[in-house]
Structure 1
């Protein structure tokens, strides 16, 4: 039997949502082991001078806990 846990994290990028997701997972994997999936719960864009400036995602990262 395995037990999973979910950690909610927020990640940002200067280039886009895909990069924000990748950076969030990359950073989470430095602390969490056995990451199995990530769900994008929310996304947001900060606008400066009429242009997108910062992409932000809220991720729910699922990982399997060790025995």
Structure 2
């Protein structure tokens, strides 16, 4: 039986919301194994001089806990 844990992360990008989501997954993967999915909960943008300068997301990343290794955080 598998157990899945969900963490909430914030990420940003100067390129796009998709790039911000990829950044969230890339950074989470440095310390988490068995990532299963990412759910983008909220989108936000920072505007300066009529231009978007930052794309921000609030995301939930789910990953499987391994029985023999114990919880991953």
TM-score (norm 1): 0.97
The structure where helix makes up a greater share of residues is: 1
* Superimposed CA distance per residue, residues 9-61 of structure 1 (whole angstroms, 9 cap, x where no aligned partner): 00000011010001110000001111000000001000011110000011100
Q: Which has the larger radius of gyration?
A: 2
Aligned to 2:11: 11
Q: CA separation in 2, counterparts of 1:14 and 1:36?
A: 26
Q: CA RMSD in A?
A: 0.5
Give the number of aligned pairs: 67
TM-score (norm 2): 0.90
Aligned to 1:58: 58
Aligned to 1:29: 29
User: Is there any run of 5+ residues in structure 1 with no aligned partner, and where?
Assistant: none
